[in-house]
Amino acid sequence: MKIVECVPNISEGRDKVKIDAVTSVVEKVKGVKLLDVDPGEATNRTVITFIGNPDGVAEAAFQLVKKASEVIDMRSQKGAHPRMGAIDVCPFVPVAGVTMEDCAEIARKVGKRIGDELEIPVYLYEEAASKEEWKNLANVRKGQYEGLEARFTGEDADYWKPDFGPAKFNPKAGATAVGAREFLIAYNINLNTRDRKIAHDIALDIREKGRAKRDKDGKIIRDENGKALKKPGIFTHCKAVGWVIEEYGRAQISINFTNYKLTPIHKVFDECIKQAEKRGARVTGSELVGLIPKQALLDAGKYYLNKMGKSIGVPESELIHHAVLSLGVDELYPF
């Protein structure tokens, strides 16, 4: 059996009527199952997850993009999360019986259809990227929605020509990134402060990209081309930023894990506790956005039981219970 997962992120997290309109089209496609809908008010973003056979998932993804581009208007969209379009990202993930290249081909097929039929500029990213630097979503999304018009008319317009669709600004829909990737865990660590600077400073230390190198006077060190040199962060396969979520009354370290097996969430969580304490702050808990592989929680449960000198030979439900308690993923709402 061939199974593909799709995790579109739309730039609407507040209007339930619009969110329901978008997700309803997925449920109408044969061979596809809607697994999760996770809206965020402060981020004004909803993470949608569905799975199915390759053809069904491709069709559901296109119909979702079409509906979202009809009901979401980027000209009035504001939120804490970086974004460049009504459908910000649309990644395909191999689950069973398919390869990453299969998912990259689905991304190209769906991306072309979005560009041709909906006239939305489409950029391929991660494992479907047409440029090496576009494998990193942050590079594709540089300048966000507000920078799109200049992207298509500026001196770098040739570089920013989309993979599919017109090379011109679409004021209502913006642009969309379509790609293929491994399973991603979206995870936020809560702090006992509203200070974004503390959260972002921790993010710079833990993320793979790290931070800009500085000399003894605090000036950024650049190469011969004027590009800032980077000091790598502590963890690989880890992307992070700091932000403030007003509805929670706190700052968060917002993290994407691109390979939880090599960089486990519990290791990053414990490191953030240390980093927060160095800055006079405290980690109070965490938040999962969307779905998480069960194995990631089982690994966390074993890790924390080992730290306590306890046996890990317990039922899976007990391992997950210890993971939830230790990571505090039920701090903001029931898990």
Last residue of a domain, one of 154, 180, 206: 180
Which pLDDT score, from 0 to 100, does residue 60 have?
A: 98
DSSP string over 139-168: HHTTTTGGGHHHHHHSTTTTTT--SBS-SS
Last residue of a domain, one of 161, 180, 199: 180
188 pairs with which residues across the strands?
Answer: 254, 287
What's the Cα-to-Cα distance from 169 to each of 10, 110, 147, 174, 177, rounded to whole Å? 18, 20, 10, 7, 15
Asked if residue 7 and residue 65 are part of one domain, the reply reads yes
Task: With respect to residue 234, please indicate whether it lies within any of the assigned structural domains.
Answer: yes
Q: Which two tokens stand for residue 98?
A: 């398919």
Task: With respect to residue 332, please indicate whether it lies within any of the assigned structural domains.
Answer: no
Task: With respect to residue 29, please indicate whether it lies within any of the assigned structural domains.
Answer: yes
Tell me which amino acid residue 18 is.
K
CA distance 69 to 72: 6
Question: How many structural domains comprise the chain?
Answer: 2
CA distance 200 to 279: 12
- pLDDT-flagged residues of the chain (< 50): none
**CATH value at residue 134:** 3.30.990.10
**Please, which contacts does 50-55 make with residues 24 or more away whose CB atoms are closer than 8 Å?**
50/5, 50/6, 50/26, 51/3, 51/4, 51/5, 51/6, 51/95, 52/3, 52/4, 53/1, 53/2, 53/3, 53/4, 54/2, 54/4, 54/98, 54/102, 54/106, 55/31
Task: With respect to residue 335, please indicate whether it lies within any of the assigned structural domains.
Answer: no
Asked if residue 193 and residue 248 are part of one domain, the reply reads yes
E-strand ranges in the chain read 3-6, 9-10, 32-40, 45-52, 87-96, 122-126, 176-180, 185-191, 211-212, 230-231, 238-245, 250-257, 283-289
Catalytic residue among 81, 200, 237, 322: 81
Residue 300, number of CB atoms within 10 A of its CB: 25
CA distance 151 to 209: 24
Asked if residue 309 and residue 286 are part of one domain, the reply reads yes
Task: With respect to residue 77, please indicate whether it lies within any of the assigned structural domains.
Answer: yes
Asked if residue 47 and residue 27 are part of one domain, the reply reads yes
Q: Cβ neighbours of residue 77 under 8 Å, at least 6 residues apart?
A: 11, 12, 44, 83, 86, 145
Last residue of a domain, one of 130, 146, 180: 180
Note if 81 is an active site residue. yes
Q: Evaluate whether 245 touches 252 at the Cβ level (below 8 Å).
A: yes
CA distance 138 to 149: 18
Asked if residue 83 and residue 27 are part of one domain, the reply reads yes
Task: With respect to residue 334, please indicate whether it lies within any of the assigned structural domains.
Answer: no
Residue 11 sits at the vertex; the CA angle it makes with 6 and 17, to the nearest 5 degrees, is 95
Asked if residue 217 and residue 270 are part of one domain, the reply reads yes
Which pLDDT score, from 0 to 100, does residue 290 have?
A: 86
Predicted model pTM = 0.84
Which pLDDT score, from 0 to 100, does residue 223 have?
A: 86
Domain coverage including residue 221 = 185-327
**CATH value at residue 307:** 3.30.70.670
Q: Evaluate whether 100 touches 128 at the Cβ level (below 8 Å).
A: no
Asked if residue 198 and residue 147 are part of one domain, the reply reads no
Asked if residue 192 and residue 163 are part of one domain, the reply reads no
Asked if residue 268 and residue 229 are part of one domain, the reply reads yes
Asked if residue 288 and residue 227 are part of one domain, the reply reads yes
Task: State pLDDT tens for residues 55-106.
Answer: 999 999 999 999 999 999 999 999 999 999 999 999 999 999 999 999 999 9
Which has the closest alpha carbon to 113: 55, 158, 183?
Answer: 55
Which pLDDT score, from 0 to 100, does residue 335 have?
A: 86
39 pairs with which residues across the strands?
Answer: 46
Q: Which residue has the tokens 């969309």?
A: 176
Task: State pLDDT tens for residues 95-106.
Answer: 999 999 999 999
Asked if residue 213 and residue 160 are part of one domain, the reply reads no
Task: With respect to residue 147, please indicate whether it lies within any of the assigned structural domains.
Answer: yes
Asked if residue 192 and residue 173 are part of one domain, the reply reads no
Task: With respect to residue 333, please indicate whether it lies within any of the assigned structural domains.
Answer: no
